[in-house]
Structure 1
Amino acid sequence: MRSTGSRYRVFTDEQWARIEPLLPSNQGRRGHPFGDHRRVVEGIAYRYRTGIPWRDLPREQFGPWQTVWKRHRRYAADGTWDRVLTQVLAEADAAGMIDWAVSVDATIARAHQHATNTTRPDQDTGGRANHKKLPVTEVEPPGHGIGRSRGGLTTKIHHAVDGRGRPLATIVTGGQRNDGAVLAQVLAEIHVPRPGPGAARTRPEAVIADRAYATGVIRTELRRRRIRAVIPDKKDQIAARQRRGSRGGRPPAVDGQAYRRRNVVERYFALAKQWRGLATRYDKLAITYRAAVTVCAILTWLRA
């Protein structure tokens, strides 16, 4: 059951009990051990759910906003949220809950002016240290993951979701990046350990995607990895094949019944963007924005 005063909370007691042991305590390091884990994590979720500035977090509910921000910043830099999601995915896979017919797509988020008053998007920020006092495993991508597209300064979230629309992998890039060019990186992010002996699962049974992914390079790579491609041809590819007649070769087979399931990724985007801090990007750093996307993914699996 959720505690009283729960309009500020998104995690039930049962859900919190699952992730609390996975969060670092800072024991054995310099400084005080982390305290009030739940209050801080609920503050992180509340900020992204409402889209308010960090300074406007209700102090009586979540404590000093600086503590909430610094904890999120640290967890984003050291990969804590990715490790939590990996463990949640491992438990789900052990229970047979993951549908490995994976749908892939991307969605655009407008970058607010507060997210863009830093290094300009056309300048390289890749490999830059995040903070000399923080343990760094996540590297800030070029241009802070903000690019120029027809919609202005935007960020693109690339997701791979399972057959029931629950996220398995996330990549954040500039909004101008082509969806298909990032597919290999998205699939490389799928990593679900097994509870017993054996390698982690990294290969879906099928990849379901729209025509933006219909390239020969992608089909060849999926074939090499023995992943079934459910991707329809582009209209110009169909026309070119018809013009060549018998020399055009056979069109790729597409399972129409399986392709109908592609909308699960669109439904997840609609769900995630109910968090206003994800629908519009306010974060200057791509790693903190991606970490918030990961927190939303963790909550989605816990609810499952």
Structure 2
Amino acid sequence: MSSCQESRFRGVTDEQWALIGPLLPSNAGKKGHPFRDDRPVVDGIIHRFRTGVAWRDVPRGEFGPWQTLWKRHRRYAGDGTWDRVLQALLADADAKGLITWDVSVDATIARAHQHATNTTRPDQDTGAGSNHKNLPLELVEPDGHGIGRSRGGLTTKIHHAVDASGRPLAVVVTGGQRNDGAMLEQVLDDIRAPRPGGGRPRTAPDSVAADKAYATGVNRRMLRARGIKTVIPEKSTEIASRKRKGSAGGRPPPFDTDAYKARNVVERSFNRIKQWRGLATRYDKLAITYRAGALIHACLTWAQLLGDTP
């Protein structure tokens, strides 16, 4: 195979693999066949999400049997492996001062392909695939598999929290009809950057910027209780209601217009993640395996930054 063809199939660079490879679990000393080299397996998983092909159509000659790719992906998605990898990379990045904790939050919708929707589910799923905490699969996977019926049909939604440079800190998957603002607390709970020297992990950003979908009293009180600066504009209905009440309506909440101008980094993060066809359209039946694809994309983003940083 030519070097051009090899680069086309390769998903992880040498620099990225030097950071990610040691963080992946091993089954040494356990029952069953020992894992072979993880790298072609991870490359195959990335190839599948990048191209959007069916698992059976992933080239065997480059990545091995598709069954191995699927089983490993299912295992790593179910036991929270990619969450732990992302947390380790965030810990390294935070220790090097590479994370700016002015966070932007938003959500994007992906259409669910018919291969993802032939499962039993409630009409309106409000569950979220997130916060594994080493729970068994049946306790992690939401009842509706993170697929809901919205105006666009059967859809799924990726909720993102990104740092000031647009690099992902948290990924939560819900049904497409789920209200963005109602998921803010869970998205923030998904942020976790452990301290390399021990101690409590970093979980709270300095500020949170979000659009008017997040402009609720519940969210403002939650952010205030956590000591997080709120950068969320008021809805026009809130402004009108406050003005009707006169002096009883109170003062408008503080709003930093300059900080809000930087919120578009989360939109740019969605542009990058949707370059992977398997994330732009959801083909996965399980919310955890779909979310794991988004987590792999996040891990590669941080590994690239760390690999380029002396």
Output the TM-score relative to the length of structure 2.
0.92
2:90 is the counterpart of 1:89: yes
Asked whether the 8 Å contact 1:125–1:140 carries over to 2, the reply is no
List per-residue Cα deviations over 1:247-290 (Å, max 9, x = no partner): 22111111111000100000000100000000000000001000
How far 1:301 moved relative to its partner? 0.9
How far 1:135 moved relative to its partner? 6.3
Q: Which runs of 5+ in 1 are unaligned?
A: 128-133
Q: Which runs of 5+ in 2 are unaligned?
A: 129-134, 306-310
Q: 1:137 to 1:203 in 2, by over 3 A?
A: farther
Q: 1:147 to 1:160 in 2, by over 3 A?
A: same
**Map of 2:260 onto structure 1:** 259
Asked whether the 8 Å contact 1:147–1:153 carries over to 2, the reply is yes
How far 1:198 moved relative to its partner? 2.0
Q: 1:170 to 1:12 in 2, by over 3 A?
A: same
Asked whether the 8 Å contact 2:124–2:149 carries over to 1, the reply is no
How far 1:245 moved relative to its partner? 2.2
2:261 is the counterpart of 1:222: no
List per-residue Cα deviations over 1:49-72 (Å, max 9, x = no partner): 000011101111111111111110
**Map of 2:44 onto structure 1:** 43
List per-residue Cα deviations over 1:4-28 (Å, max 9, x = no partner): 7111112111110111111112111
Alpha-carbon separation, structure 2, partners of 1:125 and 1:65: 32
**Map of 1:28 onto structure 2:** 29
The within-5 A match list for 1:109-148 is 109-122=110-123, 136=137, 139-148=140-149
**Amino acid aligned to 2:151:** R
**Map of 2:251 onto structure 1:** 250
Q: Secondary structure of 1:301's match?
A: helix
**Map of 2:274 onto structure 1:** 273
Asked whether the 8 Å contact 1:108–1:154 carries over to 2, the reply is yes
**Map of 1:170 onto structure 2:** 171
Taking only aligned residues, the RMSD between alpha carbons, in angstroms, comes to 2.0
Asked whether the 8 Å contact 1:3–1:12 carries over to 2, the reply is no
Asked whether the 8 Å contact 2:20–2:85 carries over to 1, the reply is yes
Q: Secondary structure of 1:145's match?
A: coil
How far 1:93 moved relative to its partner? 0.4
Output the TM-score relative to the length of structure 1.
0.94
**Amino acid aligned to 1:236:** T
Q: Secondary structure of 1:226's match?
A: coil
Asked whether the 8 Å contact 1:205–1:228 carries over to 2, the reply is yes
**Amino acid aligned to 2:275:** Q
2:181 is the counterpart of 1:180: yes
Q: 1:151 to 1:136 in 2, by over 3 A?
A: closer
- Calculate percent identity across the aligned residue pairs: 69
Q: Secondary structure of 2:140's match?
A: coil
How far 1:3 moved relative to its partner? 9.2
**Amino acid aligned to 1:191:** R
